[in-house]
């Protein structure tokens, strides 16, 4: 059974590699590496069957893309608000504050809908494992980044590490 899971994970990775190869190499190298690490980590943590993996990964990728777009919209409105605080009028600041709060609320509401979508393709226990795995993966990468910075006397690690 583990062989089937590995094959499923490698198949998903191959598909992702094909789609990311259309992007410039210098821009997506770290993204490819991060995604391959994430696929391996999640496959291990979630113990997905081949059928579950086939349904899960496209949904996960879609939700991840939506999250990134939502986060980008929220940060764009945040930066506009930040800039307006320096030079804008009270009326402009109020308008931009409302836009920021709306973007933040939309981001939070989309996060609530994720579990419902995941439960359509995975049992509840594996959905719970997904959220735990995401947090573990995030913390692991923060720790790795911090350790890389410490090894380089506080400087960012060189690209390719």
Q: Mean pLDDT across the stretch 87-95?
A: 93
Do the Cβ atoms of 74 and 100 come closer than 8 Å? yes
Given this model, what pLDDT does residue 73 score? 93
Rg of the chain over all Cα atoms, to the nearest angstrom: 19
Q: Does the model's pTM come out above 0.85?
A: no
Task: Identify the DSSP state of 156.
Answer: P
CA distance 56 to 17: 17
Q: What is the pLDDT of residues 107-121, one digit of tens each?
A: 888 888 899 999 999
Per the model's pLDDT, the better-predicted residue between 25 and 93 turns out to be: 93
CA 46 to chain centre: 17
Pair of tokens at residue 6: 């590995």
Given this model, what pLDDT does residue 8 score? 45
Q: Mean pLDDT across the stretch 12-25?
A: 47
Alpha helices by DSSP H, 21-155: 25-46, 50-87, 90-119, 124-151
């Amino acid at each position: 059974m583990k062989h089937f899971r590995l094959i499923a994970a490698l198949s998903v990775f191959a598909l992702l590699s094909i789609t990311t190869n259309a992007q410039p190499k210098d821009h997506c190298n770290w993204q490819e590496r991060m995604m391959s690490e994430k696929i391996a980590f999640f496959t291990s943590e979630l113990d997905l069957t081949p059928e579950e993996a086939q349904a899960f990964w496209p949904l996960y990728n879609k939700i991840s893309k939506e999250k990134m777009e939502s986060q980008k919209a929220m940060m764009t409105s945040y930066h506009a608000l930040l800039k307006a605080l320096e030079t804008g009028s009270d009326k402009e600041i109020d308008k931009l504050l409302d836009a920021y709060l709306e973007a933040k609320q939309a981001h939070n509401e989309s996060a609530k809908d994720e579990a419902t979508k995941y439960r359509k393709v995975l049992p509840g226990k594996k959905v719970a494992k997904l959220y735990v795995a995401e947090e573990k993966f995030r913390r692991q990468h923060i720790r790795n980044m911090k350790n890389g910075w410490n090894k380089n006397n506080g400087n960012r690690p060189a690209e390719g590490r």
